[in-house]
Amino acid sequence: MKKFELHGNAASLIFHEGTGEYRIATSSFLLAGCKPLLRLNGKEVSFGHWSVTEHTKNSMVASAKGNAGNWTLKFGFAAGDALTLRLSGCLKKVCDDVELLYFDGLKMKADHLLSQGIKMGGCAAIPVDKGTKKDFYGAMQLLVTGKGEQLRLSYPLRCEFMPFFSGRAVSGGICDFKTGAVIKHYSQKKFALEPLTLRTGDGFALMKEYAAENMTEKRDFSELAAPGWNSWDYYRWTITEDEVLENAEFIAADPVLSKHVKKIIVDDGWQYAYGEWEANSLFPHGMKYLADRITKLGFEPGLWVAPVIVEPHARIAQLDPDMLAKAENGLPTLCWSCMQRHGFILDPTVERSQKFIRDTFERLVSYGYRHFKLDFLGGVLNARQFTDKSVTRGRLMDLTIGTARRAVAGRARLLGCNYLFCGGSEPVDSVRVGGDIHAKWKSIQGNTPSIAARFWSNKTLWLNDPDFALCRGFDTANDPDLNRLLPCLVYIPPESTEKNHPGLFTLVDVYRPQAEILLSLVIAAGGAVNLSDKMTRLNESGLDLARRTVSAESGEAAIPLDLFSTALPKYWVQTVGDYHRVLLINWEDEPAELSIDLEKAGVAGRKAVNFWNDKPVKIKAGRIAVELAPRSCLFAVVR
């Protein structure tokens, strides 16, 4: 069994003919026992005998012929230290369930793992400590840390077959590690997996390079970064025309908020049904009237739409089942749910569905709406198959939000929520990167890894949206209805005997110090800033938070300095023009001393003030050192 070698500046490869097994080594990492894998309808199938057909100093091509088809695996070094793999082939006959992997079942040593979800949220920072046992699943780029260095495994952002990384972080490293794609109900015989690239170096630089590699055009996000107000987090499905206008009028009358808040977004709750985008009885004058009123108050109106969801009582579901995505049996399927609200998926490969999306957004933009929040886009993956089986899953974003973008081109901005990042940057102006936030401590903690892990995309690919800037808490609002809404009651089944059922979940459990953490993270994210409280119920402390938040100059996305060593970053540095903001967070339930060396963090400046109260922050010997109370932060402006 002959072996062939390739050597780059920072990595080497050994490939064995016959089995196709290969080994990749760098100064800090070893991926041994790799070999491509093929499963058809869940059963592993042999590629056949692998033979090297081309071999140069920087590249190698191996081919195999088996009973299932013909295959090619290419290796190449580019840009000095990046190793890229390309796996492609042609089946002898179409198969509805294909799993094609670059490797499977791999073990490797590691100290830390950072995975990225395919849509909002879904990121995990995992220290690989003694006793660690945690599964991971991610897309786009995976950062593995070992010996103080990072290894980036990545696929192009825009892709056809939605490749993934999965495995388990265990004590000392990773096991059951695999990467590739699962391709279902695809009518073609030819497959070309997106290229897999491996590169080592500084993790922050590698992630920024990934954004630059996938940027298709340079855009100005300054106008888009202007703050707004959104109805969802406080009102949810109780929102009314009157409540929207009450908040808009309050903001317009406030001497500070009125100078900075530019958008009023009406979220979910205005429509008759998902799939039937007409005003319901809570908006008696219709949506054009509301857009006109918001515009007259000096704001740009915006609207929430879920273009791919169709509820059972919508007319499309009742009368046009050919427009719906299908189950394994080829029939329309009720495959989406949220808060026990169920829906079909619009089949975007059908021309009538395309016309429906175009007509909907052309009508709504004609009313005067200049911002659209498109939600539940990733719901398309819940369907098993679509009418046109030649359309890959990676193209579905172009056929949904992409169609909407073409309909409103030059007239409105689009936020992709639950947007599948494999759609690339072209269809969107801004993208939700964090999960759903609430004024809850666990929610703030849970959302932070995704804000941290996606700093690289902000104002390069799109404007990052970390989710809402919430100011209300027990001591920042005078609101008898603060926890009146109980949205999770829908999860209490009739047979439950549990008195303290999780369905009693409330939306608020924080005080001002925790709200400051949430708002500091929103500002530090450097992207969208959207208030989502009932503004008339905030007290002076709550309004102070809101005013300071929307007045903050938009900066770059903050760098979480301990991103590659911890599960929850507590040291952040943000560049804002010619000055910096430094964020130190105590996530613990006990007081903690935090200290940062400003020079090592790349922060120049001799004076610092607390962003939230304007009090001076002491800098001694080039360091900020502070004792923080439990669940609190220091957000310092350093000049």
For residue range 102-157, what is the model confidence (pLDDT) as tens digits? 999 999 999 999 999 999 999 999 999 888 999 999 999 999 999 999 999 999 99
Interatomic CA distance for residues 88 and 74, integer angstroms: 9
Structure confidence at residue 130 (pLDDT) = 86
Structure confidence at residue 78 (pLDDT) = 84
Structure confidence at residue 366 (pLDDT) = 99
HSE toward the beta carbon, residue 536, CA cutoff 13 A = 12
Tokens of 9: 């500046």
Q: What is the pLDDT of residues 533-589, one digit of tens each?
A: 999 999 999 999 999 999 999 999 999 999 999 999 999 999 999 999 999 999 999
Residue 183: beta bridge partners?
98
> Does this chain's domain 228-234+302-551 share its CATH topology with 559-638?
no
Q: What is the DSSP string of 377-405?
A: GGGGGGSSB-S-TTS-GGGTTTTTHHHHH
Interatomic CA distance for residues 431 and 462, integer angstroms: 7
Structure confidence at residue 80 (pLDDT) = 64
Structure confidence at residue 1 (pLDDT) = 77
**Domains of the chain: which residue ranges?**
3-214, 228-234+302-551, 559-638
250: left (phi over 0), alpha (psi -120 to 50) or beta: alpha
What stretches in the chain show pLDDT beneath 50?
none
Q: Sheet containing 228-230: give its strands across.
A: 463-465, 430-432, 413-416, 371-374, 300-305, 263-266, 228-230, 530-531
Q: Are 326 and 386 in contact (CB under 8 A)?
A: yes
Q: Which amino acid is at 481?
A: D
Interatomic CA distance for residues 342 and 92, integer angstroms: 39
Interatomic CA distance for residues 114 and 192, integer angstroms: 26
Strands (E), 202-322: 228-230, 263-266, 271-273, 276-279, 300-305, 309-310
Q: Which of 424, 441, 456 is nearest to 526 (CA)?
A: 456
> Which residues in 388-424 are b (16+ Cβ under 10 Å) and which e?
eeebbbbbbbbbbbbbbbebbeeebbbbbbbbbbbbb
What CATH number does domain 228-234+302-551 carry, 3.40.50.300, 3.20.20.70, 3.40.50.2300, 3.40.50.11540?
3.20.20.70
Output the pTM of the full model: 0.97
Residue 236: burial class (beta carbons within 10 Å; 0-12, 13-18, 19+): middle
Please identify, in words, the CATH class of the domain defined by 559-638.
Answer: mainly beta
CA geometry: angle at 137 spanning 135 and 140, to 5°? 150
CATH topology of domain 3-214: Beta-galactosidase; Chain A, domain 5 (2.70.98)
Q: Are 381 and 179 in contact (CB under 8 A)?
A: no
Strands 571-576 and 276-279: unpaired
Place of tokens 């500070």: 256
Place of tokens 């096991």: 175
